[in-house]
Each structure stands twice: as C-alpha cells, then as structure tokens.
Amino acid sequence: MTVPIDAYLVVGAGLFGIGVIGVLVSRNLIILLMSVELMLNAANLALIAFSRALNLMDGHAFVFLVLTIAAAEASVGLAMVITLYRNHDTVNIDRFSILKW
C-alpha cells in the first residue's frame, strides 16, 4: 500500500504551521532559528511529495539547493546570535529594543 500524497502534504502543512507559531510566539533566538529551519524543511517535504506524485525529478533537485541555502542561512544566523550574545549577554528578543519594534 502506498501512502497517498495528501498525507505527506498534511504533515508538511503541520510542520510549517508549527514553525510559523514558533517564530511568532517564541522569545528565544535559538528557538526562532530552529522554527525557521522547520518551515524550510516543511517546504522540502512538500516539494518531494509533489515530485514523487507527479513522477518528476525537478523537485528532488530543488531540495538539494534548498538544503544548501538553509545551511548558509543557519550559519549566518548563528554567527549573528553569537555577536548579540557577546554584546548583550542574552538571546531573549525582548531585550533587543533600542530600535522600536
């Protein structure tokens, strides 16, 4: 028995939703970064599911590019979190309020 494409998409949408909620609710920068990564991976899951359902290879190739981009983004993000931690001694975003949000 094969798993229908809808099942993958529901899981993908669920992960994406968790990521969105994480970005909006969380106060910790590290958790924010993780939530963004979760959103990107939810999109990857949807891409692979569609690609498999349509019997195309394009989506699979795209996922590799996205993984590379996600890695680049994560490295820049973590570097920024480290600079912030050095200057502020915290990673709680409520403490970064020199500029009005």
Partner 1 sequence: MIDISTAVIDFGLIAPEISLVAAAFIILIIGYTKRLGKFCALTALLGIFVSFYYTLIQYGNPGSGFSGMVTSDDFGVVFRMIFLVTALLTILIAQNYLSLKRLNKPEFYALICFSTMGMMVMANSTDLVVMFLGLEIMSVPLYVMAGFARRNLASNESGIKYFIMGAFASAFLLMGIAFIFGASGTTDLKRIIADLSYLSEFSHFYFYSGIAMILIGFGFKVGVVPFHSWVPDVYQGAPTPITAFFSVGPKAAGFAVLLRVFSFGFAEVEILEPTFWVLAVVTMTVGNVLALRQNNIKRMLAYSSIAHAGYILIALTAGGIEGVSSAVFYLIAYALFNFGAFTVIIMMESRSGGTTEFSELKGLLKVHPYLTSILALFMFALAGFPPTVGFIGKFYIFSAALKNGFIWLTLIGVMNSFISVYYYLRVIKVSCFEDSDSEFAPMSMTPALMFVLFITILGTLGLGIFPDQILEFSKTALFAFL
Residues near partner 1 (CB under 8 A) are 16, 19, 23, 29, 32, 36, 39-40, 42-43, 46-47, 49-51, 53-54, 56-59, 62, 65-66, 69, 72-73, 76-77, 80-81, 83-84, 87-88, 93, 96-101
User: How many other C-beta atoms are found inside a 10 Å radius of the C-beta of residue 19?
Assistant: 21
Contact 5, 35 (CB under 8 A): no
User: How many other C-beta atoms are found inside a 10 Å radius of the C-beta of residue 47?
Assistant: 18
Beta carbon nearer to partner 1, 1 or 64: 64
Please, what sign has the CA dihedral across residues 42, 43, 46, 48?
negative
CB of 93: closest distance to partner 1 in angstroms?
A: 8
CB of 38: closest distance to partner 1 in angstroms?
A: 9
